[in-house]
Structure 1
């Protein structure tokens, strides 16, 4: 009997050993595929900060029109159509109040850009971006959704570990001799992290966490979901989709106005894009240089979009979203290349200047007036720090893991392969993280659309009050140029929708008020038309054309909601 027991014991030990080895191999494989280099996170942070500033500057061109009570979506209309609006930007309808929030957001975005109190700057930037987007949902596109999600994942990542003021502050604190790091309560938390992946770079050069997995999966989910939606479209599967998109002149500009002459090239682009969408899982299956190669193909396609289509910041946001896919071997090779190509003295001077600038910011922060010691306040701060430490696993692991599950479920639900539980749906809606991704799917845009707003002036003449031009309902030579911005195109596209008929009155009322504010001869009556033309991209023949009167509006009295 004892002999039988002893004969089985090595077998159990062997099984346990093999199981442990398998778990270690699996953990190493997952770590290798979720590992993000700290230099990639630094570049990602800089890209997010620059995008926030660019987005604010671009939106500010239509600040009054889109974000105040004097614009096309006054707060009464916003609250009527969107019952639950959580937006600081909706607290006041005055231009000065909204402009002040724009300025605050710009300052915080600059702090994120330079990596000053990075985590705090990321959280505040994300909240302000959600607030701004909630103020006018009628001008939003897929790029806005992706931007908010990338910022969300940035909250959980050590974005300030490299190339940042925070990193210089930590270095100065360590060099001071006491080994102290800046107080976590001031937003300059210690964001350094041990290397967890099998990367070949410097020790501590990469992190592999649930949050790093989340930011990679966020990009993957977008492409996989969009690819499944495109499967339902005949034009995508036949290879003709890009040709039809390029003849929709209200999207195209720059190279897009000329590339229509090469239908074979457009067909090739369609095939390549579909192939990339369905090859997107390679972005997390591969590692190192092979992953970078696949990511670079996507980046190249988005650069092509930016050169041919006016779709606001979406292509640039997507490019920034790919930065974390470039792992440690790529950054090491890039550094070696820079060191070989650039004179070492020039690099040393630039590094010294950057460190000096960061040091000045850090010294200004250190010299700022501090509150006098107070026993009760110190005790409260100690308890707060203890609470933060106890909640750290929840913040850094449990919460990101929850959202990883939710975005995967939401993506599956959007294509009919799963369902998000009701509580999860509420969470996703609250933080604007529903995964739909139906960009140009299932069918692409095939129709060129433009708008005209003939107005009868007080002297009896007519003028297009939308474009401040002579009245013409003919197709313009360059339809894209008739839209002040891509957000105006998105807004007008939503206004023409049958679900938004009530918003046509707000648009007409705004056109009347804006014209009368900026012109000596007022407008008495305005009629808004939406016109379209569908053209065969291969022979140029017009397949369909028409015009619709959206609203006729009397400018002489108080606002009237036309039914």
Structure 2
């Protein structure tokens, strides 16, 4: 009993310190919601370039192959209900509408729920093209569902959000950083500083300023060591407060911004930048609130126009008052009003909030345990139960060591006219390696997918890749491909040395 006052006093001192570090400024949630909407739109636009190839039955992973490889995951995908282009395109449009609503803060909760459901469905349709950025985007959107995302674009509410989901939002990136640091330190390439030089010697990966930066090996060595040190310091994102926390956030933001202009890793750096927004302290938001709101007022007209377009589109789809769709909408509105009236009861609303906190807490525990399993500290669940192991979902980012080879694909198609063409890029297949287009991939999705094709050893997956290339070419050209020879070429990634190109494999498929 004599110790009780001391524990009470200690708890009273610790509680404000935890609240200060594990709560999120509500203005950060508005900015995060707008960033998520913009990222979802950008992701859809980038994926749309290979919509038929990656998400339809005429592409590289038809529904039959998806079910055979991922029987449980396939059931989560609305995109897999039909295999035609029109269905996937319709869902892309629906996801774009939800992302626009999320961006401008129109019916925010509904927009966030629809965005998450369609994003999970899209990811489940083709897990072979996913990367760490997809996982972080999906998880960040999930945590956001439990939080007050506000409406519109203006920053008004200066309060703090204290919720288990806010803790999850803050701990999720740190868990990824720490896991990545541990994996990197298990090898010798990153601690020695060689890793970044190896990464920038991969021509098919470097873009923009990365091509110039590759010529400065000493700079790359320093950047590699600094990045590992920064990853090890990632817990400071929550342990630090005030201006020191802002400095830590700026350090991580600078690193991700550098990745975006030097490496072709898709939207991952931009998703990481968005995930850093909740760490910014109130003082940082005080300084950006006024200029942000000026821009928000100017964008309000665009948001109003978008909202009007969405309403008109809904009316056009509904048609006349006698149309079946309008009757369905009317019934839906009646039931929604009943639910709103029910939720309006304080007891039910309190129960819903309590359930949300409980669910967010359970998810937080799962995240920690899952990532501990990814490092081997906890026994991982059987892949027969969940299909995907923790090791597959962890953020490796060239860890414990970057690739030792620069690999690219050459698909030489023989047309019905007898002509030979490069089926992936078009043009003459007899191109020199010195031409960067020869080793480039159409997108970061293609590189990720072809890594799986190469290392999985699945002959059926390789055959579907070849058939998908044939269908892709035949859909846009008058002369069709009769046969296709896929060559896998590689070159060792050794800085300051020119290594010969090697032919790893070559297989011919009939179209």
Distance 1:27 1:426 in 2: 39
Could you tell me which runs of 5 or more consecutive residues in structure 2 were left unpaired when the two chains were aligned: 316-325
Normalising by structure 2, what TM-score?
0.88
Assess if the C-alpha contact under 8 Å between 2:485 and 2:509 holds in 1: yes
Give the direction of change, closer, same or farther, for the CA distance of 1:352–1:309 in structure 2 (3 Å limit): closer
The DSSP-based 3-state class of the residue aligned with 2:400 is: coil
Moved more, 83-92 or 470-479: 470-479
Of 382-391 and 26-35, more deviation after overlay is shown by 382-391
The one of 466, 484, 508 aligned to 1:508:
466
Q: Give the direction of change, closer, same or farther, for the CA distance of 1:128–1:315 in structure 2 (3 Å limit).
A: same
CA distance in 2 between counterparts of 1:498 and 1:48 reads 33
Cα deviation, 1:422-477, whole Å, max 9, x if unaligned, reads: 89x968969x9985221211111231111111222233332222222212375243
Q: Identify the match of residue 478 of structure 1 among 436, 450, 453.
A: 436
Partner of 2:104: 114
Residues 433 and 439, structure 2, Cα contact 8 Å, conserved in 1: no
Distance 1:397 1:480, change over 3 A: farther
The CA deviation at 1:359 is 11
CA-CA distance at 1:331 after TM superposition: 1.0
Deviation, structure 1 residue 79: 0.9
Which residue of 239, 248, 272 maps to 2:193?
A: 239
Higher relative contact order (CA 8 A, sep 6+): 2
Counterpart in the other structure of 1:326: 280
Instruction: Sort the Cα spacing of 1:375 and 1:268 in 2 relative to 1 into closer, same or farther, 3 A.
Output: closer
Instruction: Establish whether residue 551 from structure 1 lines up as the match of residue 507 from structure 2.
Output: yes
- Superposed, 1:162-561 pairs within 5 Å as 163=153, 202=158, 205-335=159-289, 338=291, 351=297, 354=300, 382-383=341-342, 385-386=344-345, 388-419=348-379, 436-472=394-430, 474-478=432-436, 482-537=440-495, 539-542=496-499, 545-555=501-511
1:166-203 deviation line (CA, Å, top 9, x unaligned) = x99xxxxxxxxxxxxxxxxxxxxxxx7xxxxxxxxx5x
Query: Residues 260, 350 of structure 1: CA spacing in aligned structure 2 closer, same or farther, 3 A cutoff?
Result: closer
Residue 80 of structure 1 and its aligned partner are, at CA, apart by: 1.1
- 1:332 aligns to what SS in structure 2? helix
Which of residues 15, 18, 22 is equivalent to 1:30?
A: 18
SS in 1 for 2:190: helix
SS at match of 2:258: helix
Q: Is the 8 A contact 1:407 1:435 kept in 2?
A: no
Change (3 A) 1:481 1:254: farther
Flag the 1:462–1:153 CA change in 2: closer, same or farther, 3 A.
same
Q: Against the structure 1 CA distance between its residues 353 and 110, is the aligned structure 2 distance closer, same or farther, given a 3 Å change threshold? A: closer
Distance apart, 1:524 and its partner CA: 2.1
How far apart are 1:244 and its partner, in Å? 0.3
Relative distance call for 1:480 and 1:152 in structure 2 (3 A) is farther
Offset of 1:375 from its aligned partner?
A: 11
Q: Would you say the 8 A contact 2:104–2:152 is kept in 1?
A: no
Instruction: State the superposition RMSD in angstroms.
Output: 3.4
Measure how far apart 1:360 and its partner are. Answer: 10
Instruction: Work out whether residues 454 and 526 of structure 1, in 8 Å CA contact, stay in contact via their aligned partners in 2.
Output: yes
Number of residue pairs matched by the alignment: 494
Matched, 1:98 2:52: no
Equivalent-residue separation in structure 2 for 1:478 and 1:306 (angstroms): 19
CA distance in 2, matches of 1:486, 1:376: 44
Report the Cα distance in structure 1 between the residues aligned to 2:136 and 2:335, rounded to whole angstroms.
Answer: 44
Kept in 1, the 8 Å contact 2:153–2:296? The answer is: no
Q: Distance in 1 between matches of 2:53 and 2:306?
A: 40
